[in-house]
């Protein structure tokens, strides 16, 4: 059996696309013994259930009594004692509310914004306290925090020795591992697509390998795609419990891995694979990419679709991989995907139809880094022509061509309810330095057209890009905060991020162009996905950090977090729900 797992943490409103894509591809090639599990949503659901977590509460009481009886405590023990005291009280206060909060998020009460916010608050407070035995480790609905750095393989591996802190180790072992180990598994695949999943995913790999060493454990996802050179050069101890890593795109590599492990065992024939051979790390180059139009519609069967925290399904779909622009100085997306490639619009329309019928799903989230305008035009026209009633959202680059020939009207008619833009900056010099290929006039015209049509917008903004001055950073914030029509437009959201110099970004190759004199990573951070740096132009790192803290606070006062800033998929549901009454009228005007 091929057993595919998506580990904690991810946003709980919708499934991630990686496992359903792999399962569909394997099934299409006559490999049918495939199981997929989303342990991110399963763990969250189990932890937010009083019946399941009673033993954790009993442990709180037991450890509280034990620590209270000691004559002396270390400072860490004293902190934990205080946390346990707080937790005992809060858990008892919330034990009759936690189950109803989760149920409420899956009901029509989701659309009551006050109840929505209260539910998420209850869940976060509950998680913070029911997991008090693992102090100082913490878990929220959308993330986790431990004293072990996910950027250091040494610290990640060391976390396995502290199950009293690594709740992934302890809870996976108690709640899920026995069931997993009962299965007749020959290949165990783990998708690690974000830093948040490094410790949880590798903990699971270690547990499986420790108990069933004959199982081939393979790890895929974008994180280790960025770390090929690190895996290749340092002989990482990760290979002690991970047999292989699949980097870049994974459908064909996973299929070939299955075929060769069940056949001749020759892993040298598996594309995109990193593994140990004769005691040395082998990397199967050149890296291959998929023929997107040969991929089947993703298969979500087996995922617990009823556990996601929303009253209606929002399913991820893919129109392209990579980015057609591939020039942004700060971006490592081309590094992840090698080359941009796109799926035919008619195939994506078919995906929509299949998923709508099979899962009764009417809301879709494009995972594309930047949807190509020509693709969108054809896609939207076919959706309208075939009268497919859906609502969708996706990310675009600001393009002049989007403003031609009533294309945005067509997007709205096809069900587009929100467009996500990587604005990054509202200063032309900074945009040019970023090599965005965007003119501010396009931004203004696009925003104006969206507001007139009723298409919501999300802006990603960056603070502290190399060479950026304080005044230039303020241009971006002022563009948002001084535009009341924008702030008042339904569904508007904006997130400000602090600049990170990522591995594989163009700046890494030629830092001097942006006044960067030094880039470095702490030697123990072998899993780091970025660099620290020093620069001679623009704000210093300390100045950029100080300004960033000021600006996120300023932006947070004007751009409401819930639901649109908290979750883009939740925001799509809100828009579709609250615009139902006016939708017919809007479409009639456009017609």
Closest CA to 586 of 444, 404, 391: 391
Boundary of a domain, candidates 283, 302, 327? 283
Q: Are residues 151 and 29 in the same domain?
A: yes
Q: Write down the pTM of the prediction.
A: 0.95
> What's the Cα-to-Cα distance from 588 to each of 291, 413, 444, rounded to whole Å?
39, 10, 26
Give me the pLDDT at residue 233, please.
84
CATH number for the domain harbouring residue 475? 3.80.30.20
Give me the pLDDT at residue 332, please.
86
Give me the pLDDT at residue 588, please.
58
Q: Are residues 393 and 462 in the same domain?
A: yes
Give me the pLDDT at residue 339, please.
84
CA 16 to chain centre: 8
Q: Are residues 279 and 333 in the same domain?
A: no
The region, left, alpha or beta by phi > 0 then psi within -120 to 50, assigned to residue 255 is: alpha
Give the helix/strand (H/E) hosting 582.
helix 580-590
Give the helix/strand (H/E) hosting 217.
strand 216-220
The answer to the question of residue 456 being in a domain is yes
Residue 35 buriedness (CB in 10 A; 0-12 / 13-18 / 19+):
middle
Q: Are residues 249 and 211 in the same domain?
A: yes
Boundary of a domain, candidates 266, 283, 300? 283
The region, left, alpha or beta by phi > 0 then psi within -120 to 50, assigned to residue 272 is: left
Phi first, then psi: what are they for 289, rounded to 5°?
A: -120, 160
Inter-residue contact 391 to 575 (CB < 8 Å): yes
Q: Which long-range contacts (CB under 8 A, 24 or more apart) does 144-152 make?
A: 144/8, 144/9, 144/196, 144/199, 144/200, 146/199, 148/199, 149/525, 150/195, 150/196, 150/198, 150/199, 150/527, 151/195, 151/525, 151/526, 151/527, 151/528, 151/529, 152/524, 152/525, 152/526, 152/527
Give me the pLDDT at residue 580, please.
74
SS (H, E, C) 341-367: EECCHHHHHHHHHHHHHHHCCCEEEEC
The answer to the question of residue 295 being in a domain is no
- Other beta carbons within 10 angstroms of residue 285's beta carbon come to 12
Give me the pLDDT at residue 357, please.
98
Can you list the alpha helix ranges (DSSP code H) found in 298-427? Answer: 333-337, 345-359, 373-385, 407-413
Boundary of a domain, candidates 230, 265, 283? 283
Residue 450: give the domain boundaries.
Answer: 312-498+558-590
Distant-in-sequence, close-in-space partners of 125: CB < 8 Å, separation ≥ 6: 90, 94
| Dihedral angle, C-alpha 141, 144, 150, 156, nearest 10 ° | -110
Grouped pLDDT means (10 residues each) for the chain, 591 residues: 96 97 98 98 98 98 96 95 98 98 98 97 98 97 96 97 98 98 98 97 98 98 93 86 97 98 97 94 95 98 98 98 94 76 97 98 97 97 98 97 95 98 98 98 98 97 97 97 96 96 93 94 93 93 95 95 95 92 59 57
The answer to the question of residue 165 being in a domain is yes
Q: Are residues 378 and 271 in the same domain?
A: no
The answer to the question of residue 538 being in a domain is no
The span from the CA of 458 to the CA of 463, in Å, is 16
CA angle 552, 553, 555 (to 5 degrees): 60
The answer to the question of residue 529 being in a domain is no
Considering its fold, how many domains does the chain have in total?
2
The answer to the question of residue 302 being in a domain is no
Q: Are residues 277 and 327 in the same domain?
A: no
Strands, E assignment, 474-563: 493-498, 501-502, 516-520, 530-535
Q: Are residues 336 and 389 in the same domain?
A: yes
């Amino acid at each position: 059996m091929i057993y595919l797992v998506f580990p904690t943490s991810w946003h709980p409103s919708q499934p991630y696309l990686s496992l359903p894509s792999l399962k569909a591809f394997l099934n299409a090639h006559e490999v049918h013994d495939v199981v997929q599990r989303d342990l991110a949503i399963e763990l969250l659901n189990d932890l937010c259930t009083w019946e399941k977590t009673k033993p954790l509460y009993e442990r709180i009481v037991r450890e509280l009594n034990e620590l209270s009886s000691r004559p002396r405590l270390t400072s860490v023990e004293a902190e934990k004692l205080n946390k346990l005291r707080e937790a005992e009280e809060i858990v008892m206060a919330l034990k009759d509310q936690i189950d109803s909060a989760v149920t409420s998020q899956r009901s029509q009460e989701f659309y009551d914004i006050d109840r929505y916010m209260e539910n998420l608050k209850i869940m976060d407070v509950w998680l913070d306290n029911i997991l008090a035995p693992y102090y100082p480790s913490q878990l929220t609905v959308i993330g986790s925090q431990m004293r072990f750095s996910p950027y250091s393989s040494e610290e990640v591996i060391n976390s396995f020795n502290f199950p009293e802190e690594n709740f992934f180790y302890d809870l996976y072992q108690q709640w899920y591992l026995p069931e997993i180990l009962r299965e007749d598994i020959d290949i165990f695949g783990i998708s690690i697509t974000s830093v948040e999943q490094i410790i949880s995913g590798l903990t699971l790999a270690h547990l499986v390998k420790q108990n069933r060493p004959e199982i081939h454990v393979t790890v895929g996802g974008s994180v280790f795609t960025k770390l090929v050179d690190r895996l290749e050069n340092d002989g990482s101890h990760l290979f002690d419990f991970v047999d292989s890593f699949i980097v870049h795109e994974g459908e064909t590599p996973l299929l070939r891995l299955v075929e060769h492990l069940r056949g001749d065992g020759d892993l040298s024939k598996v594309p995109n694979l990193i593994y140990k051979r004769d005691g040395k790390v082998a990397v199967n180059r050149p890296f291959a990419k998929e023929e997107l139009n040969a991929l089947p519609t993703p298969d979500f069967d087996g995922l617990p679709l009823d556990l996601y925290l929303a009253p209606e399904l929002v399913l991820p779909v893919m129109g392209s991989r990579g980015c057609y622009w591939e020039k942004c100085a700060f971006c490592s997306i081309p590094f992840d995907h090698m080359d941009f490639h796109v799926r035919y619009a008619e195939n994506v329309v078919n995906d929509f139809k299949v998923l709508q019928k099979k899962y009764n799903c009417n809301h879709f989230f494009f995972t594309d880094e930047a949807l190509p305008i020509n693709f969108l035009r054809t896609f939207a026209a076919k959706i309208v022509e075939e009268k497919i009633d859906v609502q969708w959202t996706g990310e675009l680059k600001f393009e002049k061509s989007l403003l031609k020939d009533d294309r945005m009207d067509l997007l709205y008619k096809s069900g587009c309810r929100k467009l996500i833009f990587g604005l990054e900056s509202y200063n032309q010099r900074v945009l040019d330095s970023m090599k965005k290929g965007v003119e501010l006039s396009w931004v203004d015209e696009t925003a104006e057209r969206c507001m007139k049509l009723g298409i919501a917008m999300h802006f990603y903004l960056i603070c502290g890009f190399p060479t950026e001055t304080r005044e230039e950073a303020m241009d971006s914030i002022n563009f948002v905060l001084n535009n009341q029509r924008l702030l008042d437009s339904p569904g508007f959201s904006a997130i400000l991020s602090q600049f990170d110099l990522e591995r594989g970004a163009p700046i890494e190759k030629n830092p001097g162009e942006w006044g960067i004199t030094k880039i470095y990573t702490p030697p123990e951070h072998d899993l780091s996905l970025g660099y620290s740096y020093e620069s001679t132009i623009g704000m210093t790192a300390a100045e950029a950090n100080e300004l960033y803290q000021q600006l996120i606070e300023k932006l947070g006062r004007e751009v409401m977090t819930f639901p649109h800033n908290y979750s883009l998929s939740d925001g799509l549901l809100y828009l579709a729900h609250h615009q139902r009454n006016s939708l017919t009228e809007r479409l009639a005007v456009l017609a």
